[in-house]
Amino acid sequence: MARHINPSNSTNKTIDAIDRKRERERQFMLKKSRELAPELAISLVQRLLDLHIIETNSVQAIQEVMEKQLQRLGDMEEFDMQFKIAPIRNLTQDPNVISLYLTQFIIEDLLNNSHIQDVFGDDMEIYSAVDSVLAKIRPK
């Protein structure tokens, strides 16, 4: 008797493989963000200042805030992270989840920091600045 091949099964396998790859990438980036938090925070704040996205009266304080965010990302529940990035989830194709999270953090929370004078730019400009720094921890 001939064997019947279910095309949806092959589609499910492909989707599962993509999901596994994204999860491995996500775990790798979370690990690297924790390991490299001080350097990434310095680079990130400098990039935001260079592109005139943020104005601050204390660069050191903002670097410390960003470093804490990068370090605690690995300890966050998946639901909390997804809830935070939900408003901008569809900002780009194949987004970096850490860049999305930090973009939303800058838009919502960093804006209220006492050391931030103002935040400029739209969501995409902020995401691009953040992702340009965090791209170095994204696997090729």
Domain extent, residue 53, equals 7-137
What are the C-alpha distances in Å from 128 to residues 44, 48, 58, 76, 102? 11, 10, 23, 23, 11
pTM for this prediction: 0.85
Domain annotation covers residue 115? yes
Q: Which residues pair with 131 in a beta bridge?
A: none
**What is the per-residue pLDDT across 77-136, written as a single tens digit (0 to 9) for each?**
989 999 999 999 999 888 889 999 999 999 999 989 999 999 999 999 999 999 999 998
Domain annotation covers residue 45? yes
Domain annotation covers residue 1? no
Domain annotation covers residue 90? yes
Domain annotation covers residue 107? yes
Domain annotation covers residue 92? yes
**What is the per-residue pLDDT across 46-59, written as a single tens digit (0 to 9) for each?**
999 999 999 999 99
CA 37 – CA 87 distance, rounded (Å):
25
What are the C-alpha distances in Å from 49 to residues 17, 46, 110, 115, 134? 39, 5, 14, 13, 16
CA 123 – CA 115 distance, rounded (Å):
21
Domain annotation covers residue 2? no
Count of structural domains within the chain: 1
91 contacts 124 by C-beta, under 8 angstroms: yes
Domain annotation covers residue 89? yes
